[in-house]
Amino acid sequence: MLFIPSYSVRMPKGEMRKPLLGDLRGPNQPLCDLGSRTVGILGSGDFSRSLAWRLVASGVRVVVGSRNPKRSTGLFPEEVEVTSHQEASAQAHVIFIALFPEHYSTLVSLKGVLAGKVLVDVSNSLKLNHDRPSNAELLATVLPESTVVKGFNVVSAWALLNRPHDGNKQVKEGKENSWVEEEVWRMELYVSLGILALGLLSLLAVTSLPSLGNSLNWREFSFIQSKLGCVALTVAILHTLMFGWGRAFDKTQYRFYLPPTFVLVLILPCVVLVARLSLALPYVSHRLERIRRGWEVGPWVHFQQQECHSSLEGVSTV
């Protein structure tokens, strides 16, 4: 809440009681009709073109002074009149000086035409130097009979030509790019599969040690080395595929007609996995299971007695 003191404020006497800008055109009329005023710009550079576009869009008549009007005419809108410095200075009362400080000396010949007019300096120094005067002070020294003001300290030609944007429109969102989304989730899968494959392969390596392998029964040892080994090999292959992704089909990756390294690494594991899957077919796996249990021909084991051909078969030494 705003509290206002109870004491009264007295207006100062004298000229301070009058407004700084007097209304010379009447109480109901604007101080300045931009449509009826002409604004001049001396210079035909980037900032001059951007400022001319802005002023024309605001409904202001613009006159640009250039050293070579014929060459600079095509750089400005059709509504802008491009002429010499002398004619542009004579037509406008407010003139923007869009020149480098090194070219201020060319305005000495226009001192009489620019006398009593408002000159807006739009140039900015490239270096911060407190020992030398500013660009506006240099311009005021060259044209002492003109009123020099400084403007556009932090506004560039690009920012002046483009429309103003809100803060949320200036930030580029990464989700608009599908390639970025693909890279993010591919990297997540690549890292997750790599950690899982490392854990499974570490378990296989530990169970291969004699001290730990002897403490397991044959079913546990067979499951870890066979079933879990195939799972670890599959996860490792998927991890490598996520690492390579689409580079296997990119012609630029095959330098000197040689495939990338991850393609060569996948050859042996894929052959082993295909061979293991072929052994998992019903007919082959059933035969292998019978062989493990000692059944080679039928479900029964036949024992044959050895024939004795010796003639001393019935002789006993006892």
29-88 residue pLDDT tens: 444 454 458 899 999 888 899 899 888 888 889 999 998 888 888 889 888 999 999 999
Domain count, the chain: 2
Give yes or no: residues 43 and 140 share one domain: yes
Output the pLDDT for position 304.
60
The answer to whether the beta carbons of residues 40 and 89 sit under 8 Å apart is: yes
Average pLDDT over residues 147-175: 69
**Mean pLDDT (the chain, rounded):** 77
Q: Does any domain span residue 32?
A: no
Give φ, ψ of 147 to 5 degrees.
Answer: -95, 115
Residues sharing a CB contact under 8 Å with residue 60, sequence separation 6 or more, in sequence order: 34, 35, 37, 38, 39
Cα 36 from chain centroid (whole Å):
46
Q: Do residues 212 and 252 both lie within one domain? A: yes
Average pLDDT over residues 220-227: 79
Residue 274 or residue 217, greater confidence = 274
**Mean pLDDT for the stretch of residues 95-108:** 90
Instruction: Indicate if 157 and 209 belong to the same structural domain.
Output: no
Supply the pLDDT for residue 263: 86
Q: What are 227-261's pLDDT values in tens digits?
A: 888 888 899 999 988 888 878 778 888 888 888 88
pLDDT band at 21 (very low <50, low <70, confident <90, very high): very low
CA-wise closest residue to 229 among 174, 273, 267: 273
Q: How confident is the model at residue 22 (pLDDT cuts 50, 70, 90)?
A: very low
Q: Which of 138, 51, 141, 44 is nearest to 94 (CA)?
A: 51
CA distance 235 to 196: 7
> Quick check: 4 pLDDT over 60?
no
Portion of the chain with pLDDT greater than 70, in percent: 75
What is the distance of C-alpha 206 from the center of its chain? 45
pLDDT in tens, 282-310: 888 888 777 777 665 555 555 566 555 55
**186 in the same domain as 289:** yes
> Would you state the pLDDT for residue 295?
66
Q: Is the pTM of this model over 0.95?
A: no
Instruction: Compare 63 and 157 and report the one with higher pLDDT.
Output: 63
**Cβ distance 72 to 66 under 8 Å?**
yes
Residues 190 and 157 in one domain: no
Residue 315: is its pLDDT beyond 70?
no
- Looking at residue 94, its pLDDT comes to 92
State the pLDDT confidence band at 14, using cuts at 50, 70 and 90: very low
Report the chain's C-alpha Rg in angstroms: 46
| Separation between Cα atoms, residue 204 and residue 199, nearest integer Å | 9
Both 114 and 144 in one domain: the answer is yes
* pLDDT score of 162: 73
Percentage of the chain lying above the pLDDT 90 cut: 16
Say if residue 318's pLDDT is above 70: no
Rounded Cα distance, 268 and 274, in Å: 10
The structure tokens listed for 69 are 């009007």
In a domain, 53, yes or no: yes
Q: Are 64 and 40 in contact (CB under 8 A)?
A: yes
Give the tokens for residue 78.
Answer: 């059709």
Q: What's the angle, vertex CA 97, arms to CA 91 and CA 98, rounded to 5?
A: 120
Question: Does residue 4 lie within any of the structural domains?
Answer: no
Written as one string, the DSSP assignment of 269-283 is HHHHHHHHHHHTSHH
- 160 or 141, greater pLDDT: 141
Q: Round to whole Å and give the CA distance between 247 and 270.
A: 18
> Residue 135 in contact with residue 125, Cβ under 8 Å?
yes
Q: Does some domain include residue 236?
A: yes
Write down the H helix ranges in the chain.
46-57, 69-72, 85-91, 135-142, 157-161, 167-170, 178-207, 210-213, 218-222, 228-244, 261-279, 282-292
| Least confident among 9-18, 37-46, 140-149, 250-259 | 9-18
pLDDT mean over 120-142: 84
Angle at 231 between CA 228 and CA 234, to 5 degrees: 155
Distance CA 249, CA 256 (A): 15
Judgement on whether residues 146 and 203 belong to the same structural domain of the protein: no
Q: Which tens digit of pLDDT belongs to each residue from 174-189? A: 555 555 677 788 888 8
Residues 203 and 155 in one domain: no
Residues 153 and 211 in one domain: no
Domain of residue 263 covers 182-293
For residue 113, the domain's CATH number is 3.40.50.720
Angle in degrees, CA 186, 187, 189, rounded to 5: 65
Evaluate whether residue 166 is within a structural domain.
no
Q: Round to whole Å and give the CA distance between 274 and 286.
A: 18
Highest mean pLDDT out of 164-173, 193-202, 204-213, 248-257: 193-202
In this structure, the number of other CB atoms found within 10 A of the CB of residue 79 comes to: 14
The SS3 assignment for 78 reads coil
